[in-house]
């Protein structure tokens, strides 16, 4: 069944496409809830990392690389986090700017490699968190 969304043929969408997307989102949400219940927050992070690494192998999206780096950091694996940050610096990823949004309490900020990361990025602006 088609529903009108706007003008002309481009204004129609397939109800089955929307239903499929909603079903996948619901299934993913339930999967996260099950993982959280059985393995806790670290389990959810590990599952997210596994899924994102799989996507990275296929497409190399900068968003996925950033998610991988920050998930490693959230899991306490700063060596892997900084290795991924180095990869993203080499790719000149603009996603790295968002590393500053993690806040002052982020343990990565205390690591000397954080200052080195800023140097490599040639970041000369003062960010509101500092």
Q: What is the pLDDT of residues 89-111, one digit of tens each?
A: 888 888 887 876 666 667 788 88
What are the structural domain ranges in the chain?
A: 60-130
- The CA distance from 90 to 121, in Å, is 9
Q: What is the pLDDT of residues 12-47, one digit of tens each?
A: 455 556 566 677 667 666 666 665 566 578 888 899
- The beta strand positions in the chain, using DSSP E, are 2-4, 12-14
pLDDT given at position 6: 52
């Amino acid at each position: 069944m088609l529903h009108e969304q706007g003008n002309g043929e481009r204004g129609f969408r397939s109800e089955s496409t929307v239903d499929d997307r909603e079903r996948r989102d619901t299934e993913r949400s339930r999967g996260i809830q099950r993982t959280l219940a059985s393995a806790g927050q670290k389990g959810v992070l590990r599952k997210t990392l596994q899924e994102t690494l799989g996507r990275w192998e296929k497409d190399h999206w900068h968003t996925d690389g950033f998610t991988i780096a920050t998930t490693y950091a959230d899991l306490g694996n700063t060596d892997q986090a900084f290795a991924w940050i180095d990869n993203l610096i080499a790719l000149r990823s603009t996603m790295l700017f968002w590393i500053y949004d993690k806040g002052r309490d982020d343990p990565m900020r205390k690591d000397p490699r954080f200052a080195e990361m800023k140097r490599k990025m040639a970041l000369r602006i003062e960010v509101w968190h500092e």
